[in-house]
Amino acid sequence: MKEFEVIIVGAGPAGGHCARLLAKAGHQVLLIEQHESFAINNFSSAASPLPILKQFDLPSKVVARYWHRLEIISSNVARQWQSNQNLGVVFDFQKLREFLAEDTVNYGGEVWLGHRYIKHIQAADRSMIVHLKPKHGETMQVKTRLIVDATGYSRAVMYANKQERPDFYKATGIEYLIKVSPEQYHKYADSLIFFLGYKWSPRGYSWIFPMDNHQLKIGSAWINAPHQIIKETQPLRQYTESIIKDYMQLAHYDLVEIHGSILEYSSGLQDVYYRNGIVAIGDAVSTVNFLGGEGIRHGMQGAEIAVKYIDNFLKDNSKDTLKDRSSNPSNKENVSVFSKYQQEIQMYFADKWNLSEQIGKKVYLEYSDARIDQGVSYLKYFTTEDMIDILFYYNFRKVSRGIKRAFLQKLDRLISWIMGGLRFGDRNQF
């Protein structure tokens, strides 16, 4: 039976980055992914602000398009911001995940595509025997010290039975990848366009993002929970189609692919981060932001935090044989190593994530269409820089540091708009 120090299950951005860093640190790493190719399950719109490239040492070959304009459109209002410099990227999600897997191999790790995690059992020596099902072939077993659950919303390792799973907020997203004429492409090639409001996207938001080769990503996502005012909606995909037909007025385009996925978010970040030799990262511990649905950067950041603790754990035990460990490092000690991981993640994310959750619930599940129009109209007071801070850094505090009076006034209007029901203490978090 093959043995690895650590097995990472799921080769999304969080799992791929985690595997790459652990392999670089010299550990024996196996990264497994249930799909045989990264072209499958290519679900993410994959937009990010520009610093992500440097922050995670990503090459430009994984970028499909750079953007330098932002637009927000509600039922009756539209606002636009731009810069003469690139503000962000839209990744080719397939290439991004391929690159992380390739880098894992470059650093000496192994990557097995088309291998599905089925279950694991604790061996007598406290190592774990992991059962994998290759796409073509019989179930096989590998031995490891630690399993990383990077399976995204499915949390397939942490929760062996669906019944054990606590309640999550669930959101569904669908996206059309289309190819358009050069003239049409030119209109959208440099912008991230977001749609809010009842007309374009009740209970969530829709978008148009540019890709390369005259392709555009047009999608819609919503929270699967009742809205206080809207009682009936159309099927989700009809909102995406309405953007293509009614907003873009495209008579002709090639539909390259329709894809989508689910996000499941734990209210108040109550996920299980570590249990009996399993550490969870990425969407499996709700690093995706509830308000923006942005999760690539945050999943990779969470993976970096986890890697510090995993590296220490593996180094601490490197002299032990797997057999020795049965009498040596107790599971209790490991729990305390990884409880620090949980604390660090929660310190990093909790404030902003809890506030984003509260704002998201208000905007997506409570506000009237007129109120959403009003909020979008207030955004005219903000500069491009302000908008990047608000949309991508959820960072009202950072924005307000050393701030000019004028900005505080702008901010106050926006806060009053968002408030309508947030408790006073929440307001102080801005």
Among 127, 151, 206, 240, binds ligand FAD (CB under 6 A): 151
Long-range contacts of 216-219 (CB under 8 A, 24+ apart): 216/177, 216/178, 216/180, 216/185, 216/188, 217/45, 217/90, 217/175, 217/176, 217/177, 218/175, 218/176, 218/178, 218/243, 218/244, 218/248, 219/45, 219/173, 219/174, 219/175, 219/176, 219/260
Q: Establish if 288 lies at the interface with ligand FAD (CB under 6 A).
A: yes
Q: Which of 304, 268, 305, 269 is closest to 284 using CA atoms?
A: 269
CA distance 420 to 325: 55
Stretch that binds ligand FAD, among 295-303, 366-374, 401-409, 415-423 (CB under 6 A): 295-303
Q: Establish if 88 lies at the interface with ligand FAD (CB under 6 A).
A: no
Select 263 or 314, whichever has its Cβ closest to ligand FAD. Answer: 263
Among 55, 82, 83, 154, binds ligand FAD (CB under 6 A): 154
Interface of this chain with ligand FAD, residues 159 to 198, rule: CB under 6 A: 173, 175
Scan for tokens 């391929």, then name that residue: 98
Q: Which helix (H) or strand (E) holds 82?
A: strand 78-82
Q: How far is the CB of 346 from ligand FAD (least distance, A)?
A: 17
Interface of this chain with ligand FAD, residues 30 to 49, rule: CB under 6 A: 32-35, 41, 43-48
Q: Establish if 116 lies at the interface with ligand FAD (CB under 6 A).
A: yes
Q: How far is the CB of 253 from ligand FAD (least distance, A)?
A: 19
Select 33 or 92, whichever has its Cβ closest to ligand FAD. Answer: 33
Q: For residue 76, give the DSSP letter.
A: S
Name the residue with the smallest CB distance to ligand FAD: 295
Select 156 or 177, whichever has its Cβ closest to ligand FAD. Answer: 156
Q: Establish if 131 lies at the interface with ligand FAD (CB under 6 A).
A: no
Q: Report CA 211 to chain centroid distance, whole Å.
A: 19
Q: How far is the CB of 133 from ligand FAD (least distance, A)?
A: 8
Scan for tokens 């919303």, then name that residue: 153
| Helix, strand, or coil (residue 309) | helix
Q: How far is the CB of 416 from ligand FAD (least distance, A)?
A: 29
CA distance 36 to 373: 44
Cβ(150)–Cβ(282) below 8 Å: yes
Which parts of this chain interact with ligand FAD (CB under 6 A)?
9-15, 32-35, 41, 43-48, 116-117, 150-152, 154, 156, 173, 175, 219, 221, 260-261, 263, 282-283, 288, 293-297, 299
